[in-house]
Amino acid sequence: MSNETFYRDSWAEVELSAIENNIRSLQERLKPGTGIYAVVKANAYGHGDVQVAKEALQAGAKGLAVSLLDEAIRLREAGIEAPILVMGWTRPEDAPIAAENAITVTVFQSEWLGEVSAQTLSHPLKLHMKWDTGMGRIGIRSTEEMDQLLQLIRQTNHLSLEGVFTHFATADEGDSTYHSKQEARFEELFSHFERVWPENVEFHTGNSAASMRFPERMKHIVRFGISMYGLYPSSVVREERPIELRPALSLQSRLIHVKKLDPGESISYGATYQTEEEEWIGTVPLGYADGWIRKLQGMDVLVDGKRHPIVGRICMDQFMIRLDQEYPIGTKVTLIGKQDSDEITADEVADYLETINYEIPCMISYRVPRMFLRNGKMIEVDNAL
Question: Is 229 known to be catalytic?
Answer: no
Q: How far is the CB of 283 from ligand PLP (least distance, A)?
A: 35
Stretch that binds ligand PLP, among 76-84, 194-202, 205-213, 320-328 (CB under 6 A): 205-213
Alpha helices for the chain (secondary structure H): 16-29, 41-45, 49-58, 69-77, 95-100, 110-117, 143-155, 177-196, 208-213, 235-240, 346-352, 359-363
- Is 128 a binding residue for ligand PLP by CB under 6 A? The answer is no
* Residues 190/183, Cβ–Cβ less than 8 Å: no
Q: How far is the CB of 135 from ligand PLP (least distance, A)?
A: 8
User: Mask of contacts with ligand PLP, 151-170, x by CB under 6 A?
Assistant: ----------------x---
Beta pairing, strands 159-166 & 84-86: unpaired
Please state, in angstroms and rounded to a whole number, the distance separating the CA atoms of residues 35 and 220. 6
- Is 275 a binding residue for ligand PLP by CB under 6 A? The answer is no
* Residue placing its CB nearer to ligand PLP in the complex, 43 or 208: 208
* Residue placing its CB nearer to ligand PLP in the complex, 22 or 208: 208
* Residue placing its CB nearer to ligand PLP in the complex, 225 or 369: 225
* Residue placing its CB nearer to ligand PLP in the complex, 41 or 370: 41
Q: How far is the CB of 42 from ligand PLP (least distance, A)?
A: 8
User: Mask of contacts with ligand PLP, 84-103, x by CB under 6 A?
Assistant: ---x----------------
Among 309, 324, 326, 327, which Cα is nearest to 273's?
Answer: 309
Among 259, 268, 343, which Cα is nearest to 307's?
Answer: 343
Stretch that binds ligand PLP, among 95-103, 203-211, 282-290, 305-313 (CB under 6 A): 203-211
Please state, in angstroms and rounded to a whole number, the distance separating the CA atoms of residues 13 and 344. 14
* Residue placing its CB nearer to ligand PLP in the complex, 207 or 253: 207
The H-or-E segment that residue 39 falls in is: strand 35-39
**211-270: contacts with ligand PLP (CB under 6 A):** 223-226, 233
Among 131, 129, 133, which Cα is nearest to 184's?
Answer: 133
* Residues 75/67, Cβ–Cβ less than 8 Å: no
- Tell whether residue 316 is among the known ligand binding residues: yes
Judged by CB under 6 A, the residue of 26, 39, 75, 107 near ligand PLP is 39
CB-based contacts of 338: which residues, under 8 Å, 6+ apart? 250, 302
- Residue 104's DSSP bridge partners are 85
Q: How far is the CB of 28 from ligand PLP (least distance, A)?
A: 17
Please state, in angstroms and rounded to a whole number, the distance separating the CA atoms of residues 170 and 3. 40
SS3 content of the chain, % helix, strand, coil (to 5): 35, 30, 40
Question: Is 269 known to be catalytic?
Answer: yes
Report the amino acid identity of residue 333: V
Q: How far is the CB of 317 from ligand PLP (least distance, A)?
A: 30
Going from the C-alpha of 107 to that of each of 65, 200, 237, the distances in angstroms are: 15, 17, 31
Q: How far is the CB of 252 from ligand PLP (least distance, A)?
A: 24
Instruction: Name the catalytic one among 37, 41, 126, 219.
Output: 41
* Residue placing its CB nearer to ligand PLP in the complex, 215 or 225: 225
Task: Tell me the residue nearest to ligand PLP as measured from the CB.
Answer: 225
Please state, in angstroms and rounded to a whole number, the distance separating the CA atoms of residues 144 and 179. 23
* Residue placing its CB nearer to ligand PLP in the complex, 117 or 207: 207
Q: How far is the CB of 110 from ligand PLP (least distance, A)?
A: 21
Judged by DSSP in three states, 345 sits in coil
How many residues touch ligand PLP (CB under 6 A)? 12
Please state, in angstroms and rounded to a whole number, the distance separating the CA atoms of residues 282 and 330. 11
Instruction: Name the catalytic one among 31, 259, 260, 269.
Output: 269
- Is 208 a binding residue for ligand PLP by CB under 6 A? The answer is yes
Q: What is the contact surface with ligand PLP in residues (CB under 6 A)?
A: 39, 41, 87, 167, 207-209, 223-226, 233
Residues marked as binding? 137, 316
Residues marked as binding for substrate? 137, 316
Catalytic residues: 41, 269
